[in-house]
Amino acid sequence: MRHFDTIVVGTGGMGSAALHHLAARGARVLGIDRFPCAHDRGSSHGHTRLIRLAYFEHPDYVPLLRRAYELWRALEQKSGRPLLVESGLVTAGPPAGHVVAGLLASAATHSLPVERLSVPEAARRYPGLRLAEDWEIAFEACAGYLFVEECVRAHTLLAVNAGAELEYGAAVRRWRADAAGVVVETDRESFSAGSLVLTSGAWTSDLLQVPGLRLEVLRKALFWYRPVPSRAMLYAAGTLPCFAFDTPTGFYYGFPSLDSRGVKVAEHTGGRPVSDPLSLDRTLDRQEQARVEEVIASHLPGLGREMSSHAHCLYTMSPDGHFALGLHPEHSRVTIAAGFSGHGFKFASVIGEVLADLALSGTTRHPLGFLSPQRFSRQNV
């Protein structure tokens, strides 16, 4: 049985970052995954992911995000790849809604530079957008997007260059831990290690062994639309920032046109429950498409409805919508990174650092108390 300092199960956004940080510190580390690097079967694909600092979900995420930005820029330098574009982000919705109100509260708590725009001012700046007269509008200049597959590739390449080993095409069946370490059994062979990191995304539920932590997997649709040719410049990168709309029918977000596919638009709310990620139905859902196109008609009127492409990714939802990040409640040699609930990828760079800390020393300087997996065990008592 081959032995390692740490085994990482799942090498997508979080796992690849953990591999990089562990290997960079000289740990002998193994990454195990069913699928190859930057695959399209889980949560870390689809070309782009939003990154933003004024975090409406909870102000306590902001310190982690500050460090995430630093580490994404460091990864760009080390890998020589462009990974993060600060295009800006327009967030709009009713003043009483949790999105804009939460964003402004987070900005106030951490003294973040967020600009509030009137509807006429937003229309002058971004004529491709049409925003409701009674909406509150916030613009965050340092927000933007990450090239998701490139981020995974960069973390993986640097990890391998630093000595990490990868076992692709292997399915983890179970693990066990005791005072001496951990053993991970796959459908090929078993491996032992001093510590284990679980970053297996939609496949995490069966591996967690935390009774109170119930994870639900949702299928999420991504759509790309080519702008009407006469208005293409209104939606081009450099002209249009990223956008997020808190509408009466759901929360929608999108990105400027970055390639021939055009503008990417998706719904953050909703989603179809998935019982088995391995047999995901990837057919186009016309109802999901219609919901997105209603938002386009209302708020991106010059974009048109020429859908050029669509794809699906997976959200792994925790019971409260916040991450489960920290040491396993019953096994100090096991670290959990799960339940990212559709808003985790932007944190991957710093979560990799956190996971390396916990796997090697059992502690981290980062403030994680509000994300501890222990909270689910307490709820189950």
Which residues are the active-site residues? Answer: 45, 48-49, 264, 268, 313, 346
Strand-pair partners of 311:
222
Residues 6+ apart with CB under 8 A from 114: 54, 103, 104, 107, 138, 139, 140
Which is nearest to 35 in space by CA: 185, 174, 190, 149? Answer: 149
- CA–CA gap between residue 253 and residue 306 (Å, rounded): 18
**Tokens of residue 359, six digits:** 């796997």
- CA–CA gap between residue 349 and residue 7 (Å, rounded): 18
How far lies 129's CA from each of 86, 122, 132, 151, 282, in Å?
19, 8, 10, 29, 30
- CA–CA gap between residue 139 and residue 366 (Å, rounded): 28
**Tokens of residue 280, six digits:** 């995901």
* Cα separation of the two ends of the chain: 38
Strand-pair partners of 232:
none
Residue 211 burial (CB < 10 Å; 0-12/13-18/19+)? exposed
Residues 6+ apart with CB under 8 A from 327: 334, 335, 336, 358, 362, 373
Query: DSSP letters of 64-80?
Result: HHHHHHHHHHHHHHHHT
- CA–CA gap between residue 316 and residue 76 (Å, rounded): 27
